[in-house]
Amino acid sequence: MTRVKGLLLLSVLALAACEPTQPKFGPDGLPLPQVYKITPSDEGKIAYRVLDSANSLRAARGAPPLALNAQLTAAAATHSRDMAVQNRPWHFGSDGSSPLLRAQRAGYVGKVLGENISETYETETETMSAWMGLNDTRDVILNPEARDLGFAWFQEPSGKIWWTLVTGG
């Protein structure tokens, strides 16, 4: 008899574990955002997803495609980490550097045309979408003079991501 009760209890527990988890909702009734953790397998793909997205948006506007640029990406990576250290999203480095100076330090010889930054827990796709929703950041992505793209991020242990996109020509 106790064996049957034990099996019954195990069956109930197994079924309870199979129940799908429900999303948690905020006070506004919308689902709370999930922390986007960048995995090592995603690291090499993220910049190319952003590049493909930017080039699709640019093609729709008749703008030439961008190429991923190592120097601009290095400048973007430096700034993403520096924003995290400063704990504020802004275009100036802790040493007072501008996007132009950071690109020059990284060896970029072209003209820096713009920089987009973000502090978020969102994916790169959601961040691109947010940038496309604002005139000034959309103009950086769609600038027809741009030929080069630098894109990088720094993710804190909490999951917060500091994104930086730089265009040049």
Per-position pLDDT tens, the chain of length 169: 555 454 444 444 444 455 445 666 767 777 766 788 888 889 889 999 999 999 999 999 999 999 999 999 999 999 999 999 999 999 999 999 999 999 999 999 999 999 999 999 899 999 999 999 999 999 999 999 999 999 999 999 999 999 999 999 9
Place of tokens 């040493």: 95
**CB of 107 within 8 A of CB of 71?**
yes
Cα–Cα distance for residue pair 96/52, rounded to 1 Å? 32
Q: What is the pLDDT of residue 43?
A: 86
Q: What is the pLDDT of residue 27?
A: 77
Q: What is the pLDDT of residue 4?
A: 47
Q: What is the pLDDT of residue 10?
A: 44
Q: What is the pLDDT of residue 9?
A: 43
Cα–Cα distance for residue pair 84/36, rounded to 1 Å? 17
Structure token digits, residue 90: 């802004």
Structure token digits, residue 43: 């690291």
Q: What is the pLDDT of residue 21?
A: 55
